Amino acid sequence: MSKKARGQVEQREIEKPDDAWSAELTPEQYQVLRKAGTEPAFSGEYWNCHDDGMYRCGGCGAELFDASTKFESGTGWPSFTEPVVEEAVELHRDLSHGMLRTEVVCRRCGGHLGHVFDDGPGPGGQRYCINSLSLDLDPRGT
């Protein structure tokens, strides 16, 4: 988990002013990626998607999750056992909404992706619960 507090600024590979993000993203993407919002369960494009490919950050295009690690969690959000590479994401302590959770953000642009929980089926036991609005699926073989 990151040792930096949520309010501290880290140097990112992609840094843009807030108004640039607002102009590039849909209002819904902006709310999730830049304001740490959450889409309603069972509402996102990818929660029930079984297509093969690479899930990329909806803000910057960084490769985040391979479809082969996606599983049915029953939560209504896309869930993965692990990122494509550990360095693709950062983990931060999140105390919002009166809960202790671990936030997942894109290392490249700092976009909010979702949260990770220790109740997953894989060898690491993790469930990366990610907002569809934070992702773009790049289909394999097309």
**Residues classed as catalytic:** 129
Exposure string over 74-113, b if 16+ CB within 10 A, otherwise e: eebbbbbbbbbeeebbbebebeeeeeebbbbbbbbbbbbb
d(CA 18, CA 8): 16
With H, G, I as helix, E, B as strand and everything else as coil, classify residue 33: helix
Q: What is the 3-state secondary structure (H, E, C) of 56-111?
A: EECCCCCEEEEHHHEECCCCCCCEECCCCCHHHEEEEEECHHHCCEEEEEECCCCC
Tell me which amino acid residue 113 is.
Answer: L
